[in-house]
Structure 1
Amino acid sequence: MPAYVISEVDDVRDPAGFEAYRTIAAKTIAQYGGRYLVRGGAASVIEGGPPPKTIIVVEFPTMERLREWYASPEYAEALNVRRTALDRRLIFVEGITPV
């Protein structure tokens, strides 16, 4: 069953650091079998809530693989950069098995 990472970037504190994070993260996502479905495209609120920030959605083959990626030494480098470059909300969610 696929699993998804949904990231909502709230604030970019260091634009150069943000770009470094994106580069490192993209490499590790591919290495762990993930693929971007949404990467900061235009977003609109249709119902409720505040306006959306920058939204990123990444699909992984399984929740186990997603968690392996997040805990990996390769992604740890990206997390170190992220801590000073941006604030975000990160959500892991299971998908559905295709019919």
Structure 2
Amino acid sequence: MAAYALARLRVRREHPDIADYIELIQPTLDPFGGRFLIHGGRSEVVEGQWEGDTVLLEFPGMKEARGWYESEEYREILPLRTRHIEGDVILVDGVPPHYDPRTTAAAMREKPGRS
């Protein structure tokens, strides 16, 4: 089951380190099967508030996502971003192939104590 690294990058201070980080990140992703699905792109907020840029990386699974984030190679370049960009990053499991949300709804209805 795929897993994702999702980042919301809120405050960005322009600096040459950011270009270095972007240039160096792909080789840290490759050993873990990681790839960009979203990298900044135009956003349209349709509910709530969402400020900043969005980045979405896909990995084959949570093991690979965590392995990438904790890898020595990524940790080495991470300060190039974190010194100049404030944001939030999460790792999250995706859903299995052929996921049907109706199954989740049915399981919720079967739980005791449901209002």
TM norm structure 1: 0.89
Q: Give the structure 2 partner of residue 94 of structure 1.
A: 93
TM norm structure 2: 0.78
Higher relative contact order (CA 8 A, sep 6+): 1
Moved over 2 A (4+): none
Stretches of structure 1 lacking an aligned partner (at least 5 in a row): none
Deviation at 1:42, TM superposition (A): 0.1
Stretches of structure 2 lacking an aligned partner (at least 5 in a row): 99-115
RMSD of the TM alignment (CA)?
A: 1.3
Q: Give the structure 2 partner of residue 52 of structure 1.
A: 51
Deviation at 1:30, TM superposition (A): 2.3
- Distance in structure 2 (CA, Å) of the matches to 1:10 and 1:48: 15
Q: Which has the larger radius of gyration?
A: 2
Percent identical residues: 33
Q: Give the structure 2 partner of residue 30 of structure 1.
A: 30
